[in-house]
A and B are shown apart, each in its own frame.
Chain A
Amino acid sequence: MGELRIAAQSLKMSVRSRMQYRVDALVATIAVFVRESANIIVIYLALLKFDVINGWNVNELLFLFSILFLTYAIVVSLFADLRDFSRMIREGRFDRLLVRPRGLLFQLILNNADVIASLGHGLLGILLFVLSAGRVGIQWNLVTILYYTGAIIGGVLIQGGIFIFFSALSFYFVETGSIRSIFYWNMRKFAGYPISIYNRLIQTILIYVVPFAFVNYFPAQYLLRKPDMANYNEAYIYIAPFVGVGVYLAAYLFWRVSVRRYYSTGN
């Protein structure tokens, strides 16, 4: 109960502090929306020429993308402080959390929610979903809706877990930005397309190392059943919503072990 109130107050503060600068907030939201849309428009135009990529038509690709945007919108509301964690360490703001009687991760989650990115990605995600979901032949019924919801939650947990993992790395190395940009941001770009178009190495990374394939590719396969699924184990489709729980737990344990280093090394 108390936890919920802290969460509500933190979220309220994040939203209000962004809304202090209304014009800036509006422009920034539009900027995020336009920037991300530009990628989508490029794909759309390319698809007008090629028709399909590995059997996926344009609507199916938009559906694949929509999951990426929707999950990221939730991720940046929940895990923004963990995304920017190395800066927090460098500026010494982490000390403050240590002198409050609450769990450390709990204090980081929902704090400083990136409202702008959340709105920009969220609106685009919803738009893409609305445009594509009715045209890709998904039978929306209780089972598919439940699966879809589970997959979104799983996708949020996977990305949240990755942020927690990189945050924990900050206890060993002060600056972790470049490792993160290689493994998170680049992999996220790859995940915009069906992973079957990539070579073995990238596929392996997307499935086993930074498991973005479980954020959108395998969940979309459950609903769309494209022929390229034959390359992968059928079980991946069914475990997709649970992979998030595993990744998150593993990241949490790594965090627990790593945070102890902070106490002994300080700033």
Chain B
Amino acid sequence: METIIAVEGIRKYYKVAKRDRGMRAAIGQLFNRKYEVKKAVDDISFMIGRGEIVGFIGPNGAGKSTTIKMLSGILYPDAGSVEIDGFVPYKQRKQYVKNIGVVFGQKSQLNWDLPLIESFELMKFIYKIPQEQYEENLKLFSELLDMEPFLRQPVRQLSLGQRMRGDIVAALLHSPELVFLDEPTIGLDVVAKEKIREFIRYMNKTRKTTIIFTTHDMQDIEKVCDRLIIIDKGKKIYDGSIDEIKNKYTNFKTIEILLENGGKETETFDIRVTPMNSVLQKLFAEKHIKDISICEPEIDGIIRDIYEGRLLLDSPAMEGTGV
């Protein structure tokens, strides 16, 4: 696969003013500020191939948005390098951004008081989209996203789901080869989320658009992405397929038991350490069991465990496979 994004050891540190409590401290800080260095992104590297869909996940404040900003040319890294499609984003901004689309789920770029179509028209001029291509894309996208009914309504009257679809279309009208979606499903209901997922998959399949996607919703990842990159505390802690991470953790089983006296217990264990046989024998010997179920780990649960530090991604098998 041809590489489209090559990221090598990027870092981004912020200076955060340290504020102590109290009046005296507040006055003191006017003259002599102390700074704390926050490592938002701390030595992250990866490669992404043309046509991939990659999900970026990580807890709040992990460095996802900062990474996306460095990739889209908004910030430049303090160290390391980014090369995308032959460009250094933050150095060749105007040339580079012609071929990318960016959706910030939390910040709309649509004009609040006007129908969607007006904001789309502006995009047509800004990106110099040929009329034919513009009409073709607009028609296709509004069909795929069911936008016909509300194309001519002022944006302020739209639901969040409708507004988000509008934002996605605005970012894709110029047929970019690479698209960054920063939390495009945030706050949406299941139906709206599913529409957007289908659309993203469609764009990837039919147009070979490379898609980088951040989210907190594991369903998004499972249904849309081929590959998953997990970032935590500014570092990449996982890079590989979703199946791989699931396979790895199928070794972890959770047993839920319902006791005859009505009590409930759960237990999680690693079958490589304690085989199922011995666990069950011990349980049956010690307890009066009414019902028992053995659960496969859910991706949600795995990720939660990773964030909370209960699962460590340190074995060699877990190293990123990359491209």
B125→A263 contact, CB < 8 A: no
Residue B80 CB within 8 A of the other chain: no
| Alpha-carbon gap, A21 to B112, bound state (A) | 13
A90 to chain B, nearest CB (A): 12
Contact of A100 among B112, B114, B126 (CB under 8 A): B126
Q: Which residue of B lies closest to A2 (CB)?
A: B128
B125 interface neighbour in A9, A93, A265, Cβ under 8 Å: A9
Complex CA gap A100/B102 in Å reads 9
Tell yes or no: B208 within 8 A of A by CB.
Answer: no
Complex Cα–Cα for A261 and B316 (A): 40
Q: Does B100 have its Cβ within 8 Å of any Cβ on chain A?
A: yes
Contact of B122 among A13, A18, A92, A264 (CB under 8 A): A13
Provide the bound-state CA to CA distance between A17 and B107, in Å: 19
Closest to B93 in A: A98
- Expressed in whole angstroms, the Cα–Cα distance for A21 and B114 within the complex equals 11
Cβ < 8 Å to B, chain A residues 75-101: 91-93, 95-96, 98-101
Chain A interfacial residues counted at CB < 8 A: 28
Is A200 interfacial (CB 8 A cutoff)?
no
Question: Is B305 among interface residues, defined by CB-CB distance under 8 A?
Answer: no
Compute how far the CA of A12 lies from the CA of B115 in the bound complex, rounded to whole angstroms: 13
Q: Which 3 pairs of residues, A with B, have the shortest CB-CB distance?
A: A17-B113, A101-B98, A6-B125
Min CB distance B232 to A, Å, is 20
Take A13-B114, A17-B111 as given contacts and tell me if A99 and B122 are in contact as well, using a CB distance cutoff of 8 Å: no
At the interface, yes or no: B303 with Cβ under 8 Å from chain A? no
Map CB proximity to A onto B60-74 as digits: 1 under 8 Å, 0 otherwise.
Answer: 000000100100111
Besides A17-B113, A18-B113, A21-B113, 10 more A-B contacts (Cβ < 8 Å) are: A6-B122, A6-B125, A9-B125, A16-B113, A92-B107, A95-B69, A95-B107, A101-B98, A107-B126, A263-B90
| A266 contacts partner chain B, Cβ-Cβ < 8 Å | yes
B38-93 residues with Cβ-Cβ distance < 8 A to A are 66, 69, 72-76, 78, 90, 93
Say yes or no: B72 contacts A20, CB within 8 Å.
Answer: no
CA–CA, A21 and B78, complex, Å: 46
A20 to B125, CA, bound (A): 23
Q: Which of A18, A93, A95, A101 contacts B126 (CB 8 A)?
A: A101
Interface code A1-23, partner B: CB below 8 Å = 1, 0 otherwise? 01001100110110011101100
Residue of B nearest to A95 (CB): B74
Chain A, interface SS category? helix
> Which residues of chain A from 56 to 70 have a CB within 8 Å of any chain B CB?
none
**A191–B94 CA distance with the chains assembled, in angstroms:** 40
Residues of A95-119 contacting chain B, CB below 8 A: 95-96, 98-103, 107
Q: Is the CB of A20 within 8 A of B114?
A: yes
**B35 close to chain A: CB less than 8 A:** no
**Is A95 a contact partner of B94 (Cβ separation < 8 A)?**
no
The answer to whether B122 touches A266, judged by C-beta atoms less than 8 angstroms apart, is no
B183 at the interface (CB under 8 A from A): no
A266 touches B104 (CB 8 A): no
Contact B126 A99 (CB under 8 A): no
Instruction: Evaluate whether A17 and B112 lie within 8 angstroms (CB atoms) in the complex, with A10-B122, A101-B126 already known.
Output: yes
Q: Once bound together, how far apart are the Cα atoms of A101 and B96, in whole Å?
A: 8
The chain B residue with its CB closest to the CB of A94 is: B74
What is the minimal beta-carbon distance from B13 to any residue of chain A, in angstroms? 11
Q: Please, which residue of chain B has its CB at the minimum distance from the CB of A260? A: B76
Q: Is the CB of A13 within 8 A of B126?
A: no
- Say yes or no: A13-B73 contact (C-beta < 8 A), given A20-B154, A101-B126, A101-B127: no
